[in-house]
Amino acid sequence: QVQLQESGPGLVKPSETLSLTCTVSGGSISSYYWSWIRQPPGKGLEWIGYIYYSGSTNYNPSLKSRVTISVDTSKNQFSLKLSSVTAADTAVYYCAREYSGYDSSATRGDYYYYYMDVWGKGTTVTVSS
Amino acid sequence: DIQMTQSPSSLSASVGDRVTITCQASQDISNYLNWYQQKPGKAPKLLIYDASNLETGVPSRFSGSGSGTDFTFTISSLQPEDIATYYCQQYDNLPRLLTFGGGTKVEIK
């Protein structure tokens, strides 16, 4: 089955750029959305952004100015760059696959639905000098 | 931006109890609401998608309901292995932006 694995430095200095890669194994990166989510220590989940395999992206407005997500279909990987990091960016970073389905009902008409069905185990990134 | 208010933030219940968690959206999100379970040190796991659909392989004691702005997640008979934090997650459309609720930590009394 599809598995995701995050990789990258576990320690980043303040004001530098955090860079992580998610490698997709057991399946193709095509035809799905791919998200990054983070979780600061002892806190809840925060969506960072996603990329479609074709390259289109959407980002959390609160992080948009600092985030870039890219995809490399030849390597079955997608990546996260977060610039100008501070201690507040210290977190466990997860990558996840987002499945999209299509349905139709009398009340809702035609619609797509989405959910994150496959997650990586997460990687801890600490921002500290 | 759509805000998600999840309550309670924590609860304690006995094995066999019915447990209910609510999520309220700041505006109508139709049925675009998912529920996840996260155990300590682990990645979240999808339980319910599109408000009320049970993910394959998830026990039937878990259920979800609601539409518009008000949603409910229920564990019909709490089991020891259900100890976890549960999150709701919504998505806008056009552009599709995602937001998680604050989480509900479920403990055994």
Q: Do A60 and B101 touch (CB under 8 A)?
A: no
When pLDDT is averaged across residues A112-125 and rounded to a whole number, the result is 96
CA pair distance B40, B33, nearest whole angstrom: 23
pLDDT tens column, B18-37:
999 999 999 999 999 999 99
pLDDT tens column, A61-114:
999 999 999 999 999 999 999 999 999 999 999 999 999 999 898 988 888 999
Instruction: Specify burial of residue B49 (Cβ count, 10 A radius: 0-12, 13-18, 19+).
Output: buried
Supply the pLDDT for residue B93: 73
Supply the pLDDT for residue B107: 97
CA pair distance B11, B108, nearest whole angstrom: 8
Q: From the CB of residue A3, how many other CB atoms can be counted at a distance below 10 Å?
A: 14
CA pair distance A129, B23, nearest whole angstrom: 39
Confidence check: pLDDT of A48 > 90 = yes
Cis peptide before B8 (omega within 30 of 0): yes
Residue in B46, B55, B87 nearest the CB of A44: B87
Q: Would you state the structure tokens that stand for residue A64, as one six-digit string? A: 């948009």
| Percent share of chain A, pLDDT over 70 | 100
> How many Å lie between the alpha carbon of B98 and the closest alpha carbon of chain A?
6
For residue B55, the chain A residues in CB contact (below 8 A) are 115, 117
When pLDDT is averaged across residues B76-91 and rounded to a whole number, the result is 97
Cis peptide before B95 (omega within 30 of 0): yes
CA pair distance B45, B53, nearest whole angstrom: 14
